[in-house]
Amino acid sequence: MTGAMISVAFTHLAIVLGVALTAAALVWVLQQRRSPQSALAWILFIVTVPYLGVPLFYALGVRKRGTRYDYIAFAPETDPPVPPVGDLDEMFRRLHLPAARPGHRMALETDPKAARDTLHRFVTEARTSLDIVLYRLDPDPFTEAFMADLDAALARGVKVRMILDHMGTIIQRPRAALKSFTEAGGELRMFSPFPKFLSSGRLNLRNHRKMVIMDGQAVWSGGRNVGLTYLGDPNDPATWRDLSYTIEGP
């Protein structure tokens, strides 16, 4: 077989493969639950610039994972029914969520110091468990102190589990502190780690949740990750303005 024939065969194979991938991408777009605007944008991108649109669609346009687990099923109400305490409670009940209960407390933290104090209190007062989910864990003095508090919690018998997003921490993270954490018995997992995403095709499926749960009875959450960027001096221009909140209850 001459070089010209090999070139023609290779070109033919590339065209067939490209058409097949393009057709599959278009069918996939139409089968997904997208807004009409989003679906039309992807279709136009794939059709007009297939050499760029098709690879980007498979890398970024694939929707999130399907449900792998059963939805949460709340136990049936056993207490006598009580009237809704407000419009929000009434809306939640119509969505088949549990009714409001007394004894719960919620605090909104607009100031980084309040958020820092809550995190410190959660970690130092935890008796049985700490479950932590973050997108970023910045390598700075505040994070080092936070990780040292986690090591102390492990030393007194608290079960500590942490999930970090791999993309959010792949370049910068407190590596020595995390090594100390795992050596002390802490459980650490990376969400959608590299290069696993290559086999799943879900590069854009990231975990942006920020949450610390203490003893299953109190939660700190919101928009703040752990680090001085989010929890530093509010007068420092480098500190982001963000919100977090705390919910505690039986």
Angle at 168 between CA 154 and CA 189, to 5 degrees: 40
Q: pLDDT tens digits for 115-124? A: 999 999 999 9
Residue 65: phi, psi to the nearest 5?
-60, 150
Identify whether the C-beta of residue 77 lies closer than 8 Å to the C-beta of residue 99. Answer: yes
CA distance 165 to 190: 6
User: Tell me, what's the pLDDT at 3?
Assistant: 63
CA distance 240 to 201: 32
Predicted TM-score of the model (pTM): 0.68
Identify whether the C-beta of residue 128 lies closer than 8 Å to the C-beta of residue 215. Answer: yes
Task: Tell me which amino acid residue 35 is.
Answer: S
Tell me which residue of 142, 130, 227 sits closest to 187, measured CA to CA: 130
Q: pLDDT tens digits for 169-219? A: 878 888 999 999 999 999 999 887 776 655 555 566 778 899 999 999 999
What residue ranges do the domains of the chain occupy? 3-61, 103-248
- CB atoms closer than 10 angstroms to residue 55: 12
What ranges make up the beta strands (E) of 43-118?
A: 105-109
Stretch 37-61: mean pLDDT = 81
User: Tell me, what's the pLDDT at 121?
Assistant: 96
For the chain, percent of residues with pLDDT exceeding 70:
86
CATH label, 103-248, candidates 3.90.1300.10, 1.10.3720.10, 3.40.50.1950, 3.30.870.10: 3.30.870.10
Contacts 24+ apart (CB under 8 A), 57-62: 57/25, 57/28, 57/29, 58/21, 58/25, 58/201, 59/201, 59/203, 59/204, 60/203, 60/204, 61/25, 61/29, 62/28, 62/201, 62/202, 62/204
- Using DSSP's 3-state secondary structure scheme, residue 154 falls into helix
